[in-house]
Structure 1
Amino acid sequence: MRVSWVGGAVAVGLLLAGCGGAGDGTGDGTARLTISANAVAGGKNAEEAAWIEEWVIPRFEQEQAARGVEVSVSFEPSGVDDEQYKTKTALDLQAGAGPDIITLDGIWVGEFAQAGYIEPLDAAQLAWDGWEHIPEAVRQLAGFEGELYGIPWGTDGRVLYYHKGLFAEAGLPTDWQPRSWEDILAAGRALAALDEVIPIQLNGGTAMGEATTMQGVLPLLAGAGAPIHDGARWLGAGPELEAVLGLYADVYGGGLGDPLLQQEAQGRDKSFQRFAEGRVGILAEGDYLWRGVLDPDSGTAPMADRDTAVGYAKIPALTPGAGAGGQDFVSMSGGSVRVLNPAGDHPELAFELLAFMNSAEALQAAMDGQDARITARTDVNEIVLAGDPMLSFVADEVLPLTFYRPPLAEYPQVSLLLQEATARVISGTDPVTAARTYQDALTEVVGGAEHIAGR
């Protein structure tokens, strides 16, 4: 078994993590539990912090008291960079300390599991009645090597956005749903006839960072039939990656995208602004574009007519049925997971708190008064997203067919290699050469050719 980066600094972990295990008890018979999240009042993720402190803790303590169980729950806030939060959490768990319930980015789950810092849920925890409201695809946000390590609570999805006004002007249907990559290119070619319009914005290159991988390469790879990691090996240079890079070549070598925009530090933000101004026809993005960028009231590139001017469609496979698992459509999602500290003194009570935090009542309370967001639970989404057809579309149509990034320590380096491969193609390198250059670098990152599938 590989040991992840978080397993290296044992001495440092013991110094920083503090003494004692999680979930200490008191002398008067009261059980103590602690919740942590990268959230703090008046700062980062302040709404989450307020929900935990003002709703979750008092409600749970009251419910337990009514059952004759004395429990005292505290919140350990944080408001730092995600990597700092990750490091501190890893060091705590490494030392057998830390909070009882911990919020992790879903992409960290495998890394923490490999290091032995978190453990799979047991049979009783898997019998929780809330699982029936979390789609199988969404459960994988908390999964690693066939096991579930926690409960996902928030997620998202990737789609193709399109500008209905531009589509109408180009003679395209305003209820567009492409069923192949060729359908996307055909729409792009029609949009190319319009003056001062970028037909397709497909994030590429290293300046776009993870947006290139998450909004571009990974959903396309799934659409070509092969996720970036199959559970055993990383995908190397082969027909799937070459097909994806070939699409980048068609878009940027064929005059359907702006290659210079992919090289600018603020290129992604500029693409948002141009879409809002009616200067981009098709844009591949997550639901963040809808709720955080184009929102008429609070968006960074607000569109007063967003609800009528913006269309959205599922991302098609290369051809119908060619997607991973034989799917016609694909997506990629991210999100957060709440996990248990295996060193806790009160594991059963801690899971009761975890389940309570992910109950329908609790998640609805978390959304109360906030902008609509997609949760992991279908029953909650039906209520909190009822007034937003786009987010409802993602929850109902996209999440059941979505995929997640591999939660492995090597992923950030692999992601960068994929970004570099797209940058080469955008600059004119042929897809086959770019794919082989990617695989040469991948071999070093993942420790040898035996960890790579493909050529």
Structure 2
Amino acid sequence: MKSWWKVVGLVILLVVGCLALTATSAAGPQKLSITYGEPWKELFEPAIEDFKAKYPDVELEVTMVPYGVDMVEKVSLDLAAGVATDIIMVDSFMIPEWAEAGYLYPLDDYLAKWPDWEQYYPGMQEIVAFNGKHYAVMIDTDVRMLWYWKPIFEKAGIPMPWEPKDWDDVIDAALLIKEKVPEVDAPLFIPMGTKWAEGTTMQGFYMVLLGADTPEGDHNRLRDWEAGKWIGYSLAIYRALDFYRKVFVEHKLCPVEPHYVPDVWGEWRRMMREGEIGIGLGGSWEWTEFWPKEILPPVEEREKLLGWAPMPGSGKPGAPEIVTISGGWSLGINAAARDPDLAWKFFELLFTKDRMGEWLAFAGKIATRKDVTEVPAYAQNEYLVEVLKLMDYTTYRDTYPGYSTVSFYVQEATADVAVEGLTPAEAMERFKEKLVEEFGAEKVAP
């Protein structure tokens, strides 16, 4: 009898073993999917090849989002539809909304064991956090400034290096360009409208809002953090919209057509490198992106053509003397990722000191971690060393769930003034009405 039970037990073990083998076979090889944008191609492609070499049994599915495609919109739609890849690029301002929606996997357990994490600047750790958890690792950061085309300044007789002290200096320089170099299409270019998406909010509106009034009491912000409300009406918002009125309506320093072409980013860059813009509000990355990489001039030639100056405040009492704002892109793990541990292995391989330092220098991006500045390619880049000084003046967006909606209303408000002809007061009233309708009167100040 005992022998019979031994035989039965052996058969059961064999069956269970076969089932296990079948299940393993059915599961197939490990898979990891990654989405990244074309501007980061030179960073991701070598890392992907290194990952393949180190983990040959992992099947990689890679999606590159090309230039001209709104990656925030694409990834947002993918996440909502449940088809997003395991690893996704995250514009840092979207972290609170995506985290609250349950789209992002918290990384704190990995970060606690990762020695490199302590190298990240405190601000670069804070920007990826929401409700006490970290949801991404910053790839790059940036600042914003005034770019200017030196040959146009020479024709207009504007001294260089240009050092505007307030908004009047900026407007006056643009008016001089309009008078002395009339063939320039946009003496002063500032992003406007919804086609730019977040570009209008950050490169345009925030860069005047922050300099429009004192930062005390969140007077120059979109959110009153102490009260926990969105700001629907303020002197700073009025002054920022009035700046748009002066540029687009009163002085006609910027045409509206470039803000409605299919690729507004590409058009702005083309206009700048072809001498159609005198002064333009833009980001630090443009040092290497005003030209396609195939025709990017050497540094020596670029320095003869392109200059930059910090954006001054309005000059009003209490307003900052220098204004800039930082954002940047990060890498996160989809909360629905098949294997978060495997995804983190790609993070460890991508985010090395040398790889990041060399790519940041190549791309003209600002470092997010302290040790990267020790990498020779970065340390020897005079532009990056100089522009890094603006980080002393920087701040971040009012990112809180609902921010992307507020940002869209901001973009509409700039077009209300620049295109629709509303006064700043009328545009601000419409802006506030939209906030109240979206969030409720109790969530909007004043």
TM-score, normalisation: structure 1:
0.73
Q: For the structure 1 residues 188 and 58, does the alpha-carbon distance in structure 2 shift closer, same or farther, using more than 3 Å as the test?
A: same
Give the residue type in structure 2 aligned to 1:312. W
* Matched residue, 2:168: 182
Is 1:443 equivalent to 2:436 in the alignment? yes
The counterpart of 1:257, out of the listed 242, 253, 260, is 253
* Matched residue, 2:203: 215
The counterpart of 1:78, out of the listed 63, 66, 77, is 63
Contact 1:320 1:327 in 2 (8 A): no
Is 1:397 equivalent to 2:389 in the alignment? yes
The Cα offsets for residues 240-283 of structure 1, whole Å up to 9 and x where unpaired, read as 11010111122223315134435542666554444333342211
Q: Distance in 2 between matches of 1:401 and 1:123?
A: 32
* Matched residue, 1:152: 138
Q: For the structure 1 residues 274 and 147, does the alpha-carbon distance in structure 2 shift closer, same or farther, using more than 3 Å as the test?
A: same
Q: For the structure 1 residues 124 and 54, does the alpha-carbon distance in structure 2 shift closer, same or farther, using more than 3 Å as the test?
A: closer
* Matched residue, 2:17: none
Corresponding residue SS for 1:227? coil
The counterpart of 1:114, out of the listed 94, 100, 104, is 100
Contact 1:136 1:400 in 2 (8 A): no
* Matched residue, 1:51: 46
Max Rg structure: 2
The runs of 5 or more residues in structure 1 that have no matched partner are 1-25, 62-70
Contact 2:104 2:135 in 1 (8 A): yes
Contact 1:340 1:350 in 2 (8 A): no
Is 1:293 equivalent to 2:290 in the alignment? yes
Is 1:357 equivalent to 2:350 in the alignment? yes
Contact 2:188 2:279 in 1 (8 A): yes
Q: For the structure 1 residues 249 and 39, does the alpha-carbon distance in structure 2 shift closer, same or farther, using more than 3 Å as the test?
A: closer
* Matched residue, 2:427: 434
Q: Distance in 2 between matches of 1:44 and 1:188?
A: 31
* Matched residue, 1:136: 122
Q: For the structure 1 residues 450 and 78, does the alpha-carbon distance in structure 2 shift closer, same or farther, using more than 3 Å as the test?
A: same
Q: For the structure 1 residues 175 and 145, does the alpha-carbon distance in structure 2 shift closer, same or farther, using more than 3 Å as the test?
A: farther
Q: Distance in 2 between matches of 1:333 and 1:416?
A: 17
The counterpart of 1:337, out of the listed 325, 331, 335, is 331
Q: Distance in 2 between matches of 1:431 and 1:124?
A: 48
Q: For the structure 1 residues 106 and 333, does the alpha-carbon distance in structure 2 shift closer, same or farther, using more than 3 Å as the test?
A: closer
Q: Distance in 2 between matches of 1:34 and 1:321?
A: 58
Q: For the structure 1 residues 126 and 150, does the alpha-carbon distance in structure 2 shift closer, same or farther, using more than 3 Å as the test?
A: farther
Give the residue type in structure 2 aligned to 1:417. Y
Q: Distance in 2 between matches of 1:56 and 1:217?
A: 41
Q: For the structure 1 residues 296 and 216, does the alpha-carbon distance in structure 2 shift closer, same or farther, using more than 3 Å as the test?
A: same
Q: Distance in 1 between matches of 2:301 and 2:317?
A: 35
The runs of 5 or more residues in structure 2 that have no matched partner are 1-22
Contact 2:105 2:332 in 1 (8 A): no
Q: Distance in 1 between matches of 2:132 and 2:125?
A: 11
State the shift of 1:336 in Å: 2.1
Contact 1:249 1:431 in 2 (8 A): yes
State the shift of 1:174 in Å: 0.9
* Matched residue, 2:10: none
State the shift of 1:218 in Å: 2.1
Q: For the structure 1 residues 119 and 55, does the alpha-carbon distance in structure 2 shift closer, same or farther, using more than 3 Å as the test?
A: closer
Q: For the structure 1 residues 437 and 155, does the alpha-carbon distance in structure 2 shift closer, same or farther, using more than 3 Å as the test?
A: same
The counterpart of 2:314, out of the listed 314, 318, 322, is 318
* Matched residue, 2:368: 376
Contact 1:138 1:399 in 2 (8 A): no
State the shift of 1:374 in Å: 4.0
* Matched residue, 2:281: 284
The Cα offsets for residues 112-155 of structure 1, whole Å up to 9 and x where unpaired, read as 22123435554883575434433333334312345432211123
Q: Distance in 2 between matches of 1:342 and 1:271?
A: 38
Q: For the structure 1 residues 36 and 373, does the alpha-carbon distance in structure 2 shift closer, same or farther, using more than 3 Å as the test?
A: farther
* Matched residue, 1:239: 235
Give the residue type in structure 2 aligned to 1:211. G
State the shift of 1:201 in Å: 1.0
* Matched residue, 1:170: 156
Corresponding residue SS for 2:331? strand
* Matched residue, 2:221: 227
Contact 1:207 1:263 in 2 (8 A): yes
Q: For the structure 1 residues 122 and 415, does the alpha-carbon distance in structure 2 shift closer, same or farther, using more than 3 Å as the test?
A: closer
* Higher relative helix content: 2
Q: Distance in 2 between matches of 1:321 and 1:129?
A: 45
Equivalent pairs counted in the alignment come to 403
Q: Distance in 1 between matches of 2:164 and 2:145?
A: 11
The Cα offsets for residues 74-131 of structure 1, whole Å up to 9 and x where unpaired, read as 534224663444444456599xxx74x5543323311222123435554883575434
Give the residue type in structure 1 aligned to 2:221. P
Q: Distance in 2 between matches of 1:132 and 1:184?
A: 40
The Cα offsets for residues 350-400 of structure 1, whole Å up to 9 and x where unpaired, read as 6566345322034247669x6554442343255344454334433x12345
Q: Distance in 2 between matches of 1:230 and 1:146?
A: 20
The percent of aligned pairs where both chains have the same amino acid is: 26
* Matched residue, 2:16: none
